[in-house]
Structure 1
Amino acid sequence: MKFSSSLLLVGFVLHANDVLSAPNPDPKAAWVRQSRARKAVSKIGKRWSNGTSAQLPVTSCSENNYTQILAPKVNVWGGLTDVEAASVTQWLFAQPEFNLTVSDDAGEWDNTILLVELMHPNKTDVLNYLDNAGPVPDRYAHVVLDHRACEEPYYEDILVGPIESYGIKNGTTRWEPLQYPYTRKTAGRVRNLDADADADDTLYSQWIYKISATISDITLDLWGGTALGLDNDTLSIWGIDPLWQDDGRVVRWDAFWSNTVDNFDTQTLLPLGLYFRSDVTGRDPSQWKFEGWYYNGLFYETTEAFRSAYYTPGFAKLGANVEGDWARTDQIGPVIPLDTASPPASITPSGARFAVDAESKWIQWMDFSFFVGYQRDTGLSLWDIRYKGERVLYELGLQEALAHYAGQDPLQSGTAYLDSYYGFGPYAFELVKGYDCPAYATYLNTSFYVSETTHTHLNSLCLFEYTASYPLQRHSTSNYVSVTKNTYFTIRSVSTVGNYDYMFSYSFYMDGSINVEVRASGYIQSAYYANNGEYGYKIHDNLSGSMHDHVLNFKADFDIQGINNTVAVVNQVPVSATYPWSKGKARNTMKLEKSYIETEESSRLFWGPNSATQYSVINKDAVNKYGEYRGYRISPSLGAIHLTVEDSSNLANAARWANHDIQVTKQHDTEPRAAHAYNNQDVHNPPINFDAFFNGENLTQTDLVLWLNLGMHHIPHTGDLPNTVFSTAHAGFSFSPLNYLDGDPSRQTVNQVRIDYGGGNVSAVETFGQEQGSCAVEYSPVEVDLWGYKGDVVVRKFPFDPNNPYYETDAIV
C-alpha cells in the first residue's frame, strides 16, 4: 500500500565507480508520515556500478570473479554520468524562468526539480548506430519539474540537451517541453493533486488532524489513542490512491490505523474500521468540505450525527486490530525438527561462467548478450538482447504495476495503486547475500540522485548461474540413459514499494529460451473485517484479507531476423474429420488452425481457454531449412492475468493496458511507454492513455511491440500473515525459439552425460569433455558476511562536492 502524497520523482544514471552502500531496514511504508516519517524523496539520477561477489574468509569456492570484457558498442541506455547529472542540475538552477528552490529549503509553495535522468534515445537512431555504423545518438536529460508556486500546481516534463560527456554543452544546450512520447498534448504538463499532501504540510496540519480532533473523545474511548500530529500519537490516518476525480471535484477517503509499537512494518495489518470523506478541490483549506463518516456499514453525513449515534445506548463498538507476534516476521513457535542444521548450499567450482563490462553494463552468458538499463519509474530493463549474435529483442522491461483492491469500505473500494508513481528504481534496496540470491552471485550497485545529492544502494542487482533441481533433457532406454543439466543465468532485483517487495528475475536458458518472473512478498494491505465477507476471508480477530489484483505490464520489442515481424496465431481445435483411409467414417480428433494478427483492430488478445492458443513472433522473410518461419513463441508460465474489474471507477483511462493479456502495436518512437508515472494525477485525461496506441495500423511484416500482462488474483488468507510468501505469489512468461534453429541448441552443452549399460554392468560413461572444476570448501555461515549491510553513501551534487561523501540512510518516505 502507498500513501497518496507528493512522493517525488527520482531519476537514474548508471555508473561504475560508486561507493558501496545499503539502506537501513527501517519501516519503509509511504503512509508513515507522522513522527517516524522522513521527508519524501525529491529527485534522483540513477547510476550503476559493479559490486563484488560475496567473499567469505578462507572459503576459496566463493571466489567467483567474472570475466572482464569490453562491450562492442556504447550503452546508450546506461544513464547519465555523475558529472552529467550534476551539470544538468546546475544549469537548471541558472534558468530564471523555472524559479527553482533547493530541495532542502523548499516548501509546498516552491518549485523544485523532481527528476534528472537520461532520456532514452529513439529506436530509429539507436539502430542506425548499432547496425549501420551511424553516430552515437545525442544525449538528452529527461527532467521533471514540480511547479507549486501557483494556485494550480503541476508537473512538467522537459527535455534538456544535448549533453556532452563532460556535462552541459555551453551555448548549445536548450530545454523544450517533452510532449512527443505522450498521448496527451499539453506541453508535458499534468496537474499535481498532492502538492499539499505531505504529513507536515497543509493537508495534515490544517485538515486531517483537525477533523480527527473533532472526535478525539471517540477515538480515545474506542482505541485509547488519538491522531493529532503529535509525537505521542498512537494512531495514523491515510487513505485512498488515486484520489477520486469525478465531476470536476477531488475527493479523498481516509481511515484510522493503529501505529506500530516497534520496528516491524505492520501498520497495513492494523485497520480500525473508521473512515471519513472530504472534498479537497483546490489549495485553499477554507474551501474544502468535510462530507461524512463511515463506520460499521453506516454512513453519517455530519460529525454531529456520528457523535449522536455513538453515544446512543446500544451503539456497536468494534474491536481494534493490535500488533502482536502474529504480525511480526521473526521466528516464533516450536523449532521444526532438524531445522537448526545448515541447509544445502551451492558453489561455483570453476568460478563465474559469464562475462561483464562493468563500465558499459554489457553482459555475456553462453550464447546470450545484453545491455542493462535502469530507470526511476520501472527499475531494471534489458536492451539489445542477442542470441547467437543475432538480436531477438530490442527492449524488455517493466512498464507499470497495478494493485487494484475491492471491499465494502470506501478505502479498499477506492484504492488502485499505480506503482510507477512511487518508482521501482529508488526502492531497489540491497539484496541479502545467500537469501535473495546465491551467496556466490556477482552483486552490482545502483545509485540515485536525490535532493541535490547522490545516494548509492550497495549490491542491489545480482547476476548468477544456477543449476535447476530438474534436468533440461533426459531419456532412458534398455541400454543407455541420457541426461542434461539445466543450468541457467539470472539477473535479479528486488524493489520494496510501500508494503510489497517485488522480486524481478530475467533468466536465460541453454535451449535459447528467456523467462521473466515476478514474485511478491511483504505485508498485505488488509481490511477491517466487519461486513467484508464478500470481499475476503477473516484472517485475524478483526481483520479481513482485502481481495486485490496485481497486474504488471511488460514491454517486449521483438526483432526476429530484423525489425519486420508478424504475430502468428495457432489454435488447437477439436474437429470431426474424414480421411482417405477412414472409409467415409468421421474421426473425432483435433487439428491446427493458423492465422495472423493483421491489424491493431484485432490485436488486443486473451490467452485461449485450455491453453490451446499459441502466439509467436515470426519473420515471414526468414525461413529455416525446412521452410518454416523462424520465430519466438510467447507462453504464460504462471499467473498471466488481466484486471478483473471492468472500466474501473478508480482508474478511468489511467490503466487501459491492464484489460487484456497480450496486446500488439506497431512500434513508434512516440510510444515508448505504456504508462506515465503521473497517470494517477488525472485519471480521465492521463499523460498516456494506452487506448490511443490502437488506431488500426497494419501489423504484417512491420516493427512490432508486444505488451504483456502478468500478475496474481490475490485473496489473502491466514497464510499471508505476517507476510505473503514468494512460493505462491508469483507469475511469469517465457519466450522460446520456434523453428528458429534447425534443432535443440542445448545439445551444444558438454554438461550432459550418457551412460551405456546392460546385463547389470556399465560399459561406458560419456561426459563429452567436461572439465572437472574443483575448489576447497571450508563452510562458514553466510550470516558472518551480513554484518557488512550498510546505510547509504551520499555525495552532494549542488554544489558538486565529490570529495566529501557521508553516510545517511533514508526510509522510503
Structure 2
Amino acid sequence: MKGIAVVGLVASQLAAVTALPPLGYERKLVREALTARDVSGISCSDGPAPVATAPKTNVWAPITPEDNRAVWDLLYNPATGLNLTLPDDATVTDNYIFWIDTIHANKTGVLPYLDGDGPLPPKYARVVIFEGSRSDPGSQEYMVGPLPVGNTTIIQPYDYAFNGGSGGYVPFNARYVDSTKSAIVTPLMTAIMTNISDITQALFNASYFGPSNRSTTLTTTAGTPVSFDGTQQFRNIMFRIPGVASYMTPIDFFLLINCPGTDPSKFSLKGFVTNEQFFETEADLRAAFEAGELAQEYTQTLDQSWALVDYKPELGSRPFDRQPAPSSIELGGKRYAIDMKEKYVEYMGWSYYMSYTRLHGITFYDIKFKGERILYELSLQEAMAQYAGNQPKAANTVYHDTYYSLGVDIATMIEGYDCPFGATFMNVTYHELNASTVNQDAVCLFESDSGYPLSRHRYGGGNTSYPFTRLGVTKGSSLTVRAIATVGNYDYMFDYSFHVDGSIEITVRASGYLQSSFYYPDQGAWGPRIAQATQGSLHDHIINYKADFDILGTENSLQVSELVVVNVTQPWFPELGSFPQMQLNKSMMTVEQQFNWAPNNEAMYVVLNENVTNAWGEPRGYRLVPGKSDLHLTILDSPWSFKNSEFAKSHLAVTRQHDTEPYSNSWQNINLPMAPQHDYSLFFDGESVEKEDLVVWFNLGMHHYTRAEDVPVTLFTEAQSSIQFAPQNFFDRAQDGDLLNRRYIVVDQSTEEGVLNYEDYGVPLPQCMVAPSEPVLEISPTLSYEFEAEL
C-alpha cells in the first residue's frame, strides 16, 4: 500500500544523506548528533493519560443530571407556590422553567475547605423561571439548595449577584426572547408580510407567509437588543435567503415592529426599510414600489454552495496536498495526568480543577505551579460583538453570547483537525428542562511542541571547524485545554495553555460566517463587497475574562512600572553633557479602576505579593503580558451598548474580590442597555486594591475589518487575540533548569576537527515504530527533501 510522504530526515534514513550537497556547520552538527547516539523506538499510539488523584473534592463541579431532575420535581411541586406550567404548554402569561444550571460556591466558603479543615461548601442550582402570571411579568432567577434535594433544601431568589437594583428580576420586555415569546409577534409579522408579498416577490423573487407556511421562501432574523430599559420592546427584522449559509445571503428588506408587553393587540408596525429608504406605512411602501423607485441594482443569489466549508475544485489544487498535513503527536506517552471524576489535572508542575456552566463554558480553579497558587479562578465572562452600518440590522446589533448560552454550544471536535491526534477528550453536560444532554468530545487536552525552544544559547568560538564551543537548548512545550463554541454564525476557539516555564497563555480565535449586509456601493465605509449582493459588516469582537489572582495568598497589589525618559549627566561621559535615558517609574494602583494598556507598551503591570520576596528581595508576582490584538470596544457611548457593556470599554480593570461580584455581566443585560440588571461600572467605587484580594478583568478581541477572504468563513489565522501571565520575580531564576528535555553539547577542541560530546540527560529522541522501507531521495534546488515510502 502506498503510504504518506515523510518530510524531513530521521535516523533510519541517514544512509542517504551522503548524497546531499554540503549543508553547513549547523546541519552537519545535527547529522552527527543523531548518529552519535541510539534512537529508541517509541510507539505512536501512546494510550490514555495517566490517572491523577485530586487532593480535594472539586467544589466547583456542575450539578449532576440527578440533581437537575430533583430540582425540577421540587419546583413543580404545588407546595412551592410557584404555579408552574410545563414549558411545552405555556404561553407568555404562564410561569415556566427556562433552564437549570450551577451556582459555583462562593470563594469565602471555599478557601477554608481548600486550604484547611473547613467543611465542604454546599452546592446550589441556578434556576431561571419566566413568570408571566405576575402583575409585573418577567424573568426571575432562583437559587435552590443545598443539594442533593432534601429536608434542608430551600428555594430563594438569586439576587445577590446582580447590582442593578432589581436583583435576579428582568422585566418581560427585556427578558430572553424564546419561542414562546416570539410566537405572539409572529401573527403580526406574517400578516404584514403576506399583504406585501407581491412586492417582495417582484423585488427579490421571494416572499414570507409565516414560518410554517410551505410557500415561504424567506427566513427571518431579529437581533439584540430588543429593548432599551424594559419599558418598550421592538423587533428590527432582517430577511434572508434560507439555507445553511443564510448569514451570507441577506436581502435588502427590513420590517420594524413595536411589540411591548404580553398583549398582541397593542403591537404595531413601525415601518419598512429598503433601497436605503424608510417607509412608515404599507401605503408609503406600495406607492414607491408602483412608482418604480425600489428597483434593485443587485440580486441576491439563491445558490449557497459557494458559502459551504467544503472542497472547492474550481480553485484548483496544490502540489503534494494529497499527502496528510503535518500533525502534532504526543510521542513517548502523555506527560499529564487527570482525575476524570474530579476534573483535576496535573502537568509538569501545574495543577488545576476544571468546571463548566451553560453560560460561560469551561472555567478553571485553584491553579497552582509547583504547589503554589497563582490563580483562584480563571474564567470566560462574556463574548460580545457590536456591528456598524447604514441598515437596521447592522446598525442596531449587539450580541452578548452568554444570552445564547455559550456553554451549551461547546460541542464535538474532530480529532486531528480541531485537536491533535491522540488528544484527551472530555464531555460536557448541560440541562434542558427535566433532562440532561451530553455533548461528547467537547473539550480536549493535549501537549504540544511550542514550535520554538524554551531557552537556547551558543557559546563562543574555538580552534576547530565549529563556530562554537558549547551549545545548550531546552525543549519548549505546553499543555492546552481547548473548547470551540459555535454560537449561531461564529465559531469561537478558546485555548488555555500552561507552559513549562510557569506562564499561562489565553488565546481566542474566531471563524464561521459573517453576519453580512446587503451590498450598496455607497456604503463601503461599513465594509467591502464580498459576494454577488453581500457586504461584510464591520464589527468588534470583545471577549471578557476574569482572573482572580491569589499570588501566594490573598493580599495582592497591582504594580505599574512605567517607562519614562529622564535627562541625566554621567561624569564618565563629560562630552555628552545632559542626555536622555529611560528608567522605570514604579507605583502601586491604589483604588479599583478600569485602565488601558500603555501606548507603545511602555508600562508593565504585575500582580504581586508585597509581603513575600524571592532570594533577591524582589516581591514575587506575575506579569500581565499583552499578546495579539488586545483591544476594547470602539464605540463607548452607543445607545445599543450604553451601560450594559461597560466591561468591554477598557483593556483591563482591577477590583477587590467580592462574593457579590462573581460576574462582569448578566446574561440578560443585552436587552437593557439603558438600565442594566448588572452594572459593571458600579464595581469601581473607590475601594482600595493595595494588599487586597484582587481580581483582574481583561479583554481579548478583534476589530473585524471584513474582507473577501472571510468567504466562505473567517479564518482562524488572522482572527485571534491573546494574553499571557508570566512569572515576574516569582522565582529566583528561570524555570527551565529542572527540565530534562534538553541537549547540552560540548566541542572537544583537542583535535582540529573537534568531537561533539553531548548530554541527553537520559531523554532519547522520540521515534514512532513505523520504519519506512526503500527510501527514495529527491533533492530540490531549495534543499527540500522528501522520502516517499511504503508504509
Range of TM-score over shorter length: 0.7 to 0.9
Matched position secondary structure for 1:70 = coil
Paired residues of 1:245 and 1:251 also in contact (CA < 8 A): no
Matched position secondary structure for 1:454 = strand
CA distance in 2, matches of 1:246, 1:654: 10
Q: Does 1:713 align with 2:703?
A: yes
Deviation at 1:246, TM superposition (A): 6.2
After the TM superposition, list the runs of 4 or more consecutive aligned residues in structure 1 that deviate by more than 6 angstroms. Answer: none
TM-score between both structures, scaled by the size of structure 2: 0.87
Paired residues of 1:271 and 1:528 also in contact (CA < 8 A): yes
Q: Does 1:465 align with 2:450?
A: no
Counterpart for residue 615 of structure 1:
605
CA distance in 2, matches of 1:196, 1:334: 45
Sort the Cα spacing of 1:257 and 1:152 in 2 relative to 1 into closer, same or farther, 3 A: farther
Deviation at 1:118, TM superposition (A): 2.5
Deviation at 1:151, TM superposition (A): 6.6
CA distance in 1, matches of 2:258, 2:588: 50
Matched position secondary structure for 1:61 = coil
The AA in structure 2 aligned to 1:285 is: P
Bigger Rg, which one: 2
Paired residues of 2:528 and 2:535 also in contact (CA < 8 A): yes
Q: How does 1:222-261 map to 2 (within 5 A)?
A: 222-229=203-210, 230-245=213-228, 248-260=231-243
Deviation at 1:760, TM superposition (A): 4.0
| Aligned equivalent of 1:565, options 556, 564, 571 | 556
Matched position secondary structure for 2:573 = coil
Paired residues of 1:64 and 1:442 also in contact (CA < 8 A): no
| Aligned equivalent of 2:418, options 422, 432, 436 | 436
CA distance in 1, matches of 2:234, 2:181: 20
Cα deviations across residues 149-186 of structure 1 (Å, max 9, x unaligned)?
A: 357431111111112xxx2122x211111111110232
Matched position secondary structure for 1:546 = coil
Paired residues of 2:68 and 2:434 also in contact (CA < 8 A): no
Counterpart for residue 178 of structure 1:
158
| Aligned equivalent of 2:89, options 105, 123, 137 | 105
Deviation at 1:134, TM superposition (A): 0.7
Deviation at 1:471, TM superposition (A): 1.3
Counterpart for residue 727 of structure 2:
737
Counterpart for residue 391 of structure 2:
409
Paired residues of 2:330 and 2:448 also in contact (CA < 8 A): no
Matched position secondary structure for 1:534 = helix
Paired residues of 1:378 and 1:399 also in contact (CA < 8 A): yes
Counterpart for residue 532 of structure 2:
541
Counterpart for residue 689 of structure 1:
679
Cα deviations across residues 625-682 of structure 1 (Å, max 9, x unaligned)?
A: 1111100000111111000002121022111111100100011111010011111232
CA distance in 2, matches of 1:746, 1:287: 69
Q: Does 1:765 align with 2:748?
A: no
| Aligned equivalent of 1:425, options 389, 397, 407 | 407
Q: How does 1:305-324 map to 2 (within 5 A)?
A: 305-313=284-292, 315-322=294-301, 323-324=303-304
Paired residues of 2:644 and 2:670 also in contact (CA < 8 A): yes
| Aligned equivalent of 2:586, options 590, 594, 605 | 594
Paired residues of 1:462 and 1:491 also in contact (CA < 8 A): yes
Paired residues of 1:430 and 1:459 also in contact (CA < 8 A): yes
Paired residues of 2:204 and 2:300 also in contact (CA < 8 A): no
Counterpart for residue 121 of structure 1:
105
Matched position secondary structure for 1:243 = coil
The AA in structure 2 aligned to 1:182 is: F
Q: Percent identity?
A: 36
Counterpart for residue 320 of structure 2:
338
The AA in structure 1 aligned to 2:425 is: Y
| Aligned equivalent of 2:66, options 65, 74, 83 | 83
The number of equivalent residue pairs is 711
Q: Does 1:74 align with 2:57?
A: yes
Counterpart for residue 679 of structure 1:
669
Counterpart for residue 9 of structure 2:
none
Matched position secondary structure for 1:532 = helix
Q: How does 1:47-446 map to 2 (within 5 A)?
A: 61-94=44-77, 95-150=79-134, 152-163=136-147, 167-170=148-151, 172-193=152-173, 198=179, 201-229=182-210, 230-245=213-228, 248-260=231-243, 265-313=244-292, 315-322=294-301, 323-332=303-312, 333-446=315-428
Stretch of structure 1 that moved more, 574-583 or 121-130? 574-583
Cα deviations across residues 100-150 of structure 1 (Å, max 9, x unaligned)?
A: 223343344432222322221111110011112111111222211121335
Counterpart for residue 32 of structure 1:
none
Paired residues of 1:196 and 1:283 also in contact (CA < 8 A): no
Stretch of structure 1 that moved more, 332-341 or 395-404? 332-341
Cα deviations across residues 347-368 of structure 1 (Å, max 9, x unaligned)?
A: 3232211111111111000100
CA distance in 2, matches of 1:279, 1:200: 14
Paired residues of 1:108 and 1:195 also in contact (CA < 8 A): no
Matched position secondary structure for 2:609 = strand
Sort the Cα spacing of 1:300 and 1:608 in 2 relative to 1 into closer, same or farther, 3 A: same
Sort the Cα spacing of 1:173 and 1:324 in 2 relative to 1 into closer, same or farther, 3 A: closer
Deviation at 1:316, TM superposition (A): 3.1
CA distance in 2, matches of 1:232, 1:313: 26
Deviation at 1:86, TM superposition (A): 1.7
Stretch of structure 1 that moved more, 274-283 or 355-364? 274-283
Matched position secondary structure for 1:533 = helix
Sort the Cα spacing of 1:201 and 1:639 in 2 relative to 1 into closer, same or farther, 3 A: closer
Matched position secondary structure for 1:425 = helix
Cα deviations across residues 427-484 of structure 1 (Å, max 9, x unaligned)?
A: 1110111101011001111122113211111111101100122111111132122211
Deviation at 1:569, TM superposition (A): 0.5
Deviation at 1:523, TM superposition (A): 0.4
Where relative contact order (Cα < 8 A, 6+ residues apart) is larger, the structure is 1
Matched position secondary structure for 2:525 = coil
Cα deviations across residues 665-724 of structure 1 (Å, max 9, x unaligned)?
A: 011111010011111232222221001101000111010000001100001100000000
| Aligned equivalent of 1:529, options 511, 519, 522 | 519
Cα deviations across residues 326-350 of structure 1 (Å, max 9, x unaligned)?
A: 2121111211121111222233232
The AA in structure 2 aligned to 1:181 is: A
CA distance in 1, matches of 2:392, 2:292: 27
